């Protein structure tokens, strides 16, 4: 394998019997102080397929006259990272066995090898992550149809993991890659600028380094902060539903271009949840051995600087809707059901794939007939559910409006006392 670099992207050329070009050099193996492999353009990592966390490399593989682009994940030469990589390889092997044609949209491992203590894993080449595309597009959110299609694929891929007794545990926009990140430039008259309009919305799920089988030890804390489920924060144990919570947060972010829970502190995170989703169930508060509750209620000072930040920057979930059209209401109903506090009450991905929000997925983009609506009775039940949910949301909004008025009146008292509140870690 020969390393090539261009614009911070590293390429690896490989063939069954690779002969180094004049520009190539024999690799002098060197690591930096953090254990990362130090290499230059033209380095040969592996002369042929090897057998068998720093994913910064792309790979170009040559088989005779056939060129294939691959991505190469090169792991730090540090024991704990090597051990974690071997666990990921085990998961990837299981995925390959269960899904040899990549039908279920999980990235495919082509091979792996050990290069002087660095575990290297070769994958199919994909495009930008949905997060990086969003970032490079000035956080202009995806269209509703793209949100629908990406969310549908994500639910389908993660359901496959759950069906095979796996929890991903680290779902986030950075771990969802576009198959093709080509775009067109379209003028945005409202913002008076050109934005990128994504051409295709097919995605793949990546990064199984934290994936956990049902029978394996479950670490107390999993998931990246912004996508972490309440049962994880409260240390109540977790399983497949924690992935569903993460998907709900991701769908919100794709729709609006902003993170739903922008925080780095557990207590503030829980306060944001209560502001957006309502009160955390007392049974969960009572079961938790954490110190975030007092007499079954969240111990949170609403009138300190942190409390005012949460109040001013968070609002009930449905108030984030950009339109009251049916499609938008369907989306937010699904997100709401994914963000149920109690994991036992949270919607499953089998149920999510049958949600009305996905009814408009065109037939050519569906994966099987099981995702079609089962019956008119289901729709009628769903409609009744929406009517009840809308009534609850109206009552909740009235409560929040009254609460906001109360806090506006009390803000004057606290305006000069911020020094007594704790400062946010942002």
Active site residues: 170
Q: How far is CA 372 from the centre of its chain?
A: 25
Q: Classify 340 as helix, strand or coil.
A: coil
Region of 213 (left: φ > 0; alpha: ψ -120 to 50; beta: rest) is beta
First-to-last CA distance in the chain? 42
Give the number of other Cβ atoms within 10 Å of residue 351's Cβ.
13
DSSP assignment letter at 103: T
Tokens (6 digits) for 183: 């775009």
Helices (H) and strands (E) in the chain, counts: 11, 16
Rounded CA separation 67/34 (Å)? 33
Backbone angles phi, psi at 25, to 5 degrees: -135, 155
Q: How far is CA 398 from the centre of its chain?
A: 32
Rounded CA separation 16/1 (Å)? 9
Cβ atoms of residues 90 and 211 within 8 Å: no
Rounded CA separation 159/151 (Å)? 12
* β-strands 54-63, 9-14 pairing: parallel
Give CA separation, 48 vs 22, 92, 113, 125, 397, in Å: 18, 21, 10, 19, 63
Question: Alpha helix locations (H) across 62-218?
Answer: 79-98, 130-136, 144-163
Rounded CA separation 223/232 (Å)? 8
* β-strands 2-6, 9-14 pairing: antiparallel
Tokens (6 digits) for 117: 């203590």
């Amino acid at each position: 394998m020969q390393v090539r670099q261009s614009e911070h992207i590293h390429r690896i050329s490989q063939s069954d019997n690779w002969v180094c070009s004049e520009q190539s050099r024999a690799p002098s193996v060197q690591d930096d102080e953090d254990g990362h492999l130090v290499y230059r353009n033209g380095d040969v990592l592996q002369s042929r397929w090897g057998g068998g966390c720093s994913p910064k490399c792309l790979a170009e593989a040559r088989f005779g006259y056939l060129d294939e682009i691959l991505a190469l994940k090169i792991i730090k030469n540090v024991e704990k990272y090597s051990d974690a990589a071997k666990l990921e390889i085990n998961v990837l092997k299981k995925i390959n066995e269960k899904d040899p044609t990549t039908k279920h949209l999980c990235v495919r491992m082509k091979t792996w090898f050990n290069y002087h203590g660095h575990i290297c894993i070769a994958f199919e080449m994909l495009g930008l992550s949905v997060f990086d595309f969003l970032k490079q597009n000035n956080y202009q959110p995806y269209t509703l149809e793209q949100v629908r299609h990406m969310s549908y694929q994500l639910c389908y891929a993660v359901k496959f993991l759950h069906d095979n007794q796996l929890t991903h545990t680290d779902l986030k926009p950075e771990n969802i890659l576009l198959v093709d990140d080509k775009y067109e430039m379209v003028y945005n008259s409202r913002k008076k600028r050109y934005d990128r309009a994504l051409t295709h919305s097919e995605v793949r799920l990546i990064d199984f380094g934290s994936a956990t089988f049902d029978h394996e030890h479950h670490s107390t804390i999993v998931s990246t902060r912004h996508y972490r489920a309440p049962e994880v924060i409260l240390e109540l144990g977790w399983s497949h539903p924690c992935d569903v919570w993460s998907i709900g947060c991701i769908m919100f972010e794709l729709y609006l271009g902003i993170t739903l829970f922008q925080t780095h502190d557990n207590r503030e995170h829980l306060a944001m949840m209560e502001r957006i989703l309502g009160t955390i169930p007392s049974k969960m508060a009572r079961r938790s051995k954490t110190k975030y509750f007092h007499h079954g209620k969240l111990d949170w000072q609403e009138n300190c600087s942190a409390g005012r930040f949460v109040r001013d920057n968070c609002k009930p979930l449905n108030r984030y809707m950009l339109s009251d059209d049916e499609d938008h209401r369907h989306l937010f109903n699904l997100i709401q059901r994914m963000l149920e506090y109690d994991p036992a009450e949270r919607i499953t991905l089998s149920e999510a794939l049958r949600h009305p929000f996905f009814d408009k997925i065109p037939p050519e983009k569906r994966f099987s007939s099981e995702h079609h609506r089962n019956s008119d009775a289901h729709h009628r039940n769903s409609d009744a559910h929406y009517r009840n949910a809308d009534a609850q949301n109206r009552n909740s909004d009235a409560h929040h409006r009254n609460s906001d008025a109360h806090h506006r009146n009390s803000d004057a008292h606290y305006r000069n006392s911020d020094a007594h509140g704790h400062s946010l870690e942002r």
